[in-house]
Amino acid sequence: MAFPQSKESPGGGFDRSTTAYELCSRCKELNITPESFNVAAHRGHNRPNLEKNASSESCWLASGKVPTRYVISESGGTSSDCKLCNLIRDTIGSSRNTGKVAEYFVAWDLDGPYVKDLSKFVNTSRRLRVSWSREMGALSEKGVRVEEEVFLLPAADALSPPQQTGTSAPDLNRSLRLILKWLHMCETKHQNQQKDKKQTRDASQAKDENETKHENPLPLPQREWEHRFRDLVNSTYFGVIDVVDKQLCRLPMAENGKPAPYVALSYVWGQDDAHRELRTTCENGLLRTEPEGLAQVWERLPTTIRDALKLVQDLSRMRAEQDGEASPMPPPLRYIWIDSLCIVQDGPQSWKYNARRMDLIYGNAYFTICAADGPSSATGLVAMNPTAHNQPGVAQITPKVAVRVSMSSDSVIDASEWNHRGWTFQERILSRRCIIFAEGRIFFQCRQTNWSQDDNPDEAENGMASAWGHLLHRRYDELESRPIKFFMTAVEKYTGRNLSFASDILDAFSGVSQLMKWYLCSHLHFGLPASHFDLALLWKPLAGKCRRTSANIPANERGHGRHDLEFPSWSWCGWMDSKDPGKGARAVYDSEFLGGFIDDAGTRDWLLNHTWIIWFVRDQEANLRPLWEGPTVPPSSRGKVTPQWQGYKSRPRGQSSCWVKHLDVPENTAVGDGVDAYGRPVKGRWWSGLARETQHNHFTQRLPDTLFGVRGPCLPEATRKSYMYFNAHDSHSGAPSSNPGSMSFAEAGLDHQPYQPLLQFWTLTCQFGMVPDFDTPAADHLQRYHVADSAGDKCGTVVTDKSWVEQKKPFCTFIALSEAKDFTEQEWSARSRTHYNPGAREDSKWPLFYAMAITKDVKRGVWERLGLGKVYQSAFQRDGCRWDEIILG
């Protein structure tokens, strides 16, 4: 890769003593001065002195027009004498990727404090954004382009000569002081902001008697589930590491009567043998609970764990030294939770108990250490290593201006192996504060701000506007107002991550599920919320994958007590990479495929007016149970959810009247009074005649191991009460107990009922042909097919694995799931001409079905998902559809 030589500008303004800082002609046009990085105070607008031109090639500063494109020629000579060009060249050359760079762009960008209310967003500074794309090999005939960027910020001190860049060792005490400062600012400033917001909200609620009195001001586990955390602390399965006495112990209570503060570690195990050999087991566990019980293995622990233990010790020491200098300081730290040491790894009960309470463990940690430096626990926390070299690139580009290279935290963290692991997904989201170690640098992220060690410490209190708005834990407003949207985003970001054990797919998502269920007011059934089940079924894979079944899961995972290894085809958790069992199959909820009703916030209208299936599930005894029986957790946050995004309406028959104020169905509304069990209006459809002779809850189909009939639907009385009533300690949720002796939802353990991965229901079925759509080439083993009726006319479209072609079956069974609004242009182009088009499209606003292609597993006696698409309703009607009972596994 070659960079252009600098062009000396005639009559340059530098005298002989400053020729070392001569910039090339293009860099001079940037008009870089100390003032260029500052934004003048300006009221009422967040972009003073900066206006975008119609052309993306340039923008305006107060100092004039600034060119933004630099073209790098392959034959343009060697390195430039321009300090800025050299710095950019070295930065691009040191990038993690090694592909070919054709050009890069330089543009002024706004930076400054992040304020949640964008109307009050105030920019205080500018930065130079350098971006480029890199050709990374070839895919078919097209190269893969990777987009990269860095930022140039003013540097207080430049390194001279430039060769010293990147050779300075980090100042350990400086890093410790910076971390303590971050924690102090977050705990004081951010908590005060939340208290102010809560007081404002409480004042406004006092005016409205209909508002819930016990509203949770933050979607934090330690707020909503304080009693659950106390139960966890008092349990026999939860413990922490005392870094002073070097032993495993129970988390003690602090002087204020609350559990003592502790730190959690999020890291990658990797293939480090020492890590696996030194885990806590039934054999060594009791010894490690004694004083100095961990001392004999302390120095032999994997580097990342040793560094995390030392970090807690050093922070405690530094805090003691600074005590009195800044008040209040972060609380004294003595305890840390690390999974491999605090969980008995060969104890199934210990593992399950802790794994399914990750929301409490990480959500209540004072902060979480995120070790994202390397591919395994042998790497350590590089920035805390005195021998590490992690100084960012710095250059004195003019006599008055020095700049330093700063990569966005997202670009650094997202590229790490840690960020591609399954378990770390929820560990980061659930944590209140994260101290992230990545590529030899330190970052701080909480739910309100994002700081980096590269930021100016004097400006760190405000937090910089780094590009990290896409992070899921920044979307808690969405969790409160549109929880189903939060769920869909979580699924898209979680699926496709890597797991050491393929059977951990749901356990590694359980903490996020616990968080979401309080806002969905619903349990998640194999990863799909019961409150929006018809919508949750409409996920699409991004690549062809194989089923996550016991036959496809490695033998060394079977029988280790983590899961029964049964996952359904109808859920995203039932699929994995065919070559790598630990790699998930990424699933998405495509807004175009969903017909726009998601973007239009018409979710609830669609659920109530365009769905009809009554879903039943089977427990381990093969008894049928209704999937949706109304809210299954205290609906404490229901009032926050925007009505258009809420789920089904109904309440169970016989439900306590104390729930009525939380629901929008009148108390005297009963099933049969114009609504079904989901609160959906019962209205006549063209297929009502087919369904009239069969009750929704009348089932006859059996399984090979249930030869003597179908029992159900049923719901034992004790279980029903656990849906309806809550103990006295749940009264803060807004659902006071009318039966203090009954079990709470958490105590009943309904989230982990041993259900079979089967759905049983009635709906329309029909046989259709499938013909490959050769206008849409197969991608990642997925192929789009035309759905053809009995006359051979195209009547729909479906996407499934291209292996269907090899089976050469003339017809496939389709089931109607719900009503769809329209095809996308990719699904049904304007040139497609059949007797379904355009007349059928004009006859109705909802002329389609979301339809699932299914295939029969003869040995198990159940149907499985093959693909998902859309089919005209009239095609079902014309081809003699049936109203059938389906068991979908």
**pLDDT tens by residue, 334-389:** 999 999 999 999 988 999 899 989 989 998 999 999 999 989 999 999 999 877 65
Question: DSSP string spanning 437-457?
Answer: EETTEEEEEESS-EEETTS-T
Residues 615 and 533 sit within 8 Å (Cβ to Cβ): yes
Please name every residue paired with 396 in a beta bridge, in sequence order, or none if there are none: 402
What is the pLDDT at residue 673? 60
pLDDT band at 426 (very low <50, low <70, confident <90, very high): very high
Centroid of chain to Cα 513: 11
Question: DSSP string spanning 311-357?
Answer: HHHHHHHHHHHHTTTSSSPPPP--EEE-HHHHS-TT-HHHHHHHHTT
| Residue 231 pLDDT exceeds 80 | yes
Q: Which two tokens stand for residue 157?
A: 């001190």
Residues 573 and 564 sit within 8 Å (Cβ to Cβ): no
For 849-884, the pLDDT digits (tens) are 999 999 999 888 999 999 999 999 999 999 999 999
Nearest to 29 by CA among 73, 56, 60: 60
* Average pLDDT of the residues of the chain: 74
Let me know if 39 is exposed, middle or buried by CB neighbors in 10 A (0-12, 13-18, 19+).
buried
Nearest to 122 by CA among 38, 181, 36: 38
N-terminal to C-terminal alpha carbon distance within the chain: 54
Q: Who contacts 464 (Cβ-Cβ below 8 Å, separation ≥6)? A: 111, 112, 113, 114, 450, 451, 452, 455
Cα gap 404→708, rounded to integer Å: 75
Q: Which two tokens stand for residue 509?
A: 């998502």
Cα gap 66→71, rounded to integer Å: 15
Alpha helices in 249-302 (DSSP H): 273-277, 285-288, 295-298
3-state secondary structure of 763: strand
User: Average pLDDT, stretch 136-155?
Assistant: 63
Does residue 718 or residue 110 have the better pLDDT? Answer: 110
pTM of the model as a whole: 0.81
3-state secondary structure of 772: strand
What is the pLDDT at residue 47? 40
Checking 162-168 for CB contacts under 8 A at 24+ apart, the result is 162/83, 162/86, 162/395, 165/90, 165/391, 165/393, 165/394, 165/395, 166/389, 166/390, 166/391, 166/392, 166/393, 167/389, 167/391, 168/389, 168/391
pLDDT band at 290 (very low <50, low <70, confident <90, very high): very high
| Radius of gyration of the chain measured on its C-alpha atoms | 30
What is the pLDDT at residue 545? 80
Residues 653 and 717 sit within 8 Å (Cβ to Cβ): no
Q: Which two tokens stand for residue 774?
A: 């050769």
What is the pLDDT at residue 49? 38
Cα gap 428→68, rounded to integer Å: 36
Q: Which two tokens stand for residue 607?
A: 């659920």
- Which range has the worst mean pLDDT, 41-55, 120-134, 798-812? 41-55
